[in-house]
Structure 1
């Protein structure tokens, strides 16, 4: 797929009553789909810097609220309106139990969801596959 738009973000999880839950944000535009925080790479910015910036902008969660698993990364490639798009997700864990999600105008709701519900809300095959890979990583590496 030829180069097109590039976006980056984090699949963020937390441990809540010994269960893993994933953060999904519902867009306030289009079909109001649910996704992890992510956004387009700005000129001069690395994909990692974009993921950090977009997470702060869209969820209010800052770098110190999270633990990052840089070796757990997924690159998605798919067309949007006939043009190629690349999205990079890394895995991050919410470690600041007092951190609150604060949405931007781009989103109208958020949910912390268990794996099965996250897959249901995620709806797109690429993001569901990402949740599956990341959930397996958490089970095997984040005890």
Structure 2
């Protein structure tokens, strides 16, 4: 049985970005783990018994980044499912896309993470060491570009 985890790809828009180039002003939130290889990832975590996937994504985002569901706008129509091995076992991770409503919203890290950064797509892909995460960020960005 695959381990199942869910999370949110969180982004914000720079207020100063000209509206004609919407995607230039988008930054993605990545958290650096305080364990293992200290890799960078969006907030995510394992599904608890009785919880649905989206509830898990919001709960993990609150626990790991301090962001409440009411501080976020879930973007309709985007959902990405990744399958990969983790610690020798199959893992499934489901991501949704969400925008912080207030650009200046404070991030409050849990003990699971030691740092966070808001990064433009190119830098976010450099920090996200795993190829499937880089691809997911690019797909999310293209999805946002197509919505305008």
Query: TM-score, normalising length from structure 2?
Result: 0.92
Structure 1 residues without counterparts, runs of 5 or longer = none
Any stretches of 5+ residues in structure 2 without a counterpart? 18-24
Picking from 17, 22, 27, the partner of 1:21 is 27
Q: Note the 1:92-111 alignment, pairs <5 A.
A: 92-111=98-117
Give me the whole-angstrom Cα distance separating, in 2, the residues matched to 1:50 and 1:78: 19
Runs of 4+ in structure 1 over 4 Å off: none
Pairing 1:116-127 to 2, within 5 Å after superposition: 116-127=122-133
* Correspondence 1:71-86 to 2 at 5 A: 71-86=77-92
Q: 1:16-72 CA distances to partner (integer Å, 9 max, x unpaired)? A: 132100000000000000000000001111110100000000000111111101410
Indicate the RMSD between aligned Cα atoms, in angstroms.
Answer: 0.9
1:82 is displaced (CA, Å) by 1.5
Match of 1:55 in 2: 61
Matched length: 140
Residue 140 of structure 1 is matched in structure 2 by 146
